[in-house]
Chains A and B, each alone.
Chain A
């Protein structure tokens, strides 16, 4: 998975859990949960959708590595490369 593909997926799935979010104004290094006011249930839905779309296994321990938009994007890229190595 390329960073571009990863970004596309993450942004689309964020919009699904927070439909009225202003993605253009979202800084790539701010905490997603507080910026988009995601509660733990929203975040779980986000992870579930990302896992389903990418086919990657994501554990609860990984959530911390997915705290910002940038981290989320690189986490998915990294995890997809692990799968192929």
Chain B
């Protein structure tokens, strides 16, 4: 079970997309798992032949649990103890090292139970000198009961899946329509009302708030508490004139069909990504008391989920995409975060994150950094404000940009350079 972000301890294997004997390549999607936050497609990190499935569908297991074994030589398949493929000598992944530090555990004294003897979060927790409370109130209740597996690759929104479990609706009986729209909560509710009620309780009554929401709240709570505990944040902000960006986009959008129109939000993302490349001290991770610069700009985008919760998957190499492509990726990412599936790498790759609360009408946001990242850029709403321009008072479209940064990695002086670079880019939107 891969760690899909610093806030994940366990995951439920919802669906295997391969079976023993299948040939897989590095990067292939082999399984679908549910974290507390999203349904995620897990990519294979090796090439070879699937030897054995070790975690059945529906089971919830801790991060680090081997899901399956892969052998690189098909000829070795019959051998019960086929050698595992070679793997980098990393004893523990960066998030696990971070976790160990947090709990005061010396990794040299821990024996790993993970893949190739790697130390997992669970190993660290067991080795912790003090008993740490179990992260979840009633873990037993969260273990999925055996149930019918959805047929084929029917898409189901995470909320609908949760609701189906609560209402006892068999998802196999519901199929997404021909347009590929995922099965939604409303369909599950409708199906539930048509099912004979076994308990005599009216099933149309609104169910308890789903466990998933509670779990997501808890995951966010732990991550944010850790961020504020470990990261000495400092905050800078500046007002940015968006008049030129708006004019450029309005002109371009006039010629485009609605779905291809580029929103100002995409220009803000692009400008942030290019700034992160030019001022690289903010692009990367803080690990083991030092800054590990990112090799590319993978821009995390904070996305609020319908029904509650927050997730910040990354747009890979966002600085290299043109505005139209970035806009398409943003739309795709939001759609998949809310109703479909995210890739595992999208949840772990972000090197810097942007949060845009402008649509909700706030002036500015001083955000909390996602560990182990070292910076978070916030944007408020675009609004017409009185502004001194060339000695005259004018009305300009303005946005407040904020930088929350990790003082261990950078100082305010560098932070100021980040925001001024961002501002300069947005005054020359044609280069974006």
Contact = CB atoms under 8 A, between A and B. Distances in A.
Nearest to A59: B254
Given A40-B263, A40-B359, A41-B331, A20 B257 contact: no
A48 B328 CA distance: 14
Interface string A21-53: 000000000000110011111001101100110
A44 B334 contact: no
Contacts of B304: 37, 39
A47 B330 CA distance: 17
A19 B254 CA distance: 29
Contacts of B250: 60
B237 interface: no
A59 B251 CA distance: 11
Interface residues of A, number: 19
A20 B189 CA distance: 11
A44 B254 contact: no
Contacts of A20: 159, 184-186, 306-307
B261 interface: yes
A16 to B, nearest CB: 8
Interface residues of B, number: 26
Contact of A41 (B265, B307, B339, B361): B265
Contacts of B265: 40-41
Interface in B242-272: 250, 253-254, 257-259, 261, 263-265
A19 B305 CA distance: 12
B88 to A, nearest CB: 38
Given A19-B306, A20-B186, A48 B259 contact: yes
A44 B259 CA distance: 7
Given A34-B361, A60-B253, A19 B259 contact: no
Contacts of A77: none
Given A60-B250, A60-B253, A41 B185 contact: no
A9 interface: no
A10 B176 CA distance: 22
B257 A48 contact: yes
Contacts of A59: 254
A34 B261 CA distance: 22
B330 to A, nearest CB: 7
B179 to A, nearest CB: 10
A58 to B, nearest CB: 6
B258 A48 contact: yes
Interface in B193-207: none
A43 B264 CA distance: 13
A33 B331 CA distance: 17
A60 B186 contact: no
- Which of A19, A58, A59 has the most C-beta atoms of chain B within 10 angstroms of its own C-beta? A19
B304 to A, nearest CB: 8
Interface in B122-162: 157, 159
Interface string B20-60: 00000000000000000000000000000000000000000
A46 to B, nearest CB: 9
A58 B307 CA distance: 30
A19 B160 CA distance: 11
A65 B254 CA distance: 17
A33 B381 CA distance: 13
A76 B360 CA distance: 25
A51 B186 contact: no
Given A33-B359, A41-B263, A44-B263, A58 B331 contact: no
Interface of B: 157, 159, 184-186, 250, 253-254, 257-259, 261, 263-265, 304, 306-307, 330-331, 334, 339, 358-361
24 contacts: A18-B306, A19-B157, A20-B184, A20-B307, A33-B359, A34-B360, A37-B306, A37-B360, A39-B304, A39-B359, A39-B360, A40-B263, A40-B264, A40-B358, A40-B359, A41-B330, A41-B334, A44-B258, A45-B331, A48-B258, A48-B259, A52-B258, A60-B250, A60-B261
Interface of A: 18-20, 33-34, 37-41, 44-45, 47-48, 51-52, 58-60
Given A40-B263, A60-B261, 7 more contacts: A19-B184, A20-B159, A39-B359, A44-B263, A48-B257, A58-B258, A59-B254
Report the 7 A-B pairs with minimum CB-CB distance, sorted nearest first. Answer: A48-B258, A39-B359, A48-B259, A19-B184, A51-B258, A47-B258, A40-B263
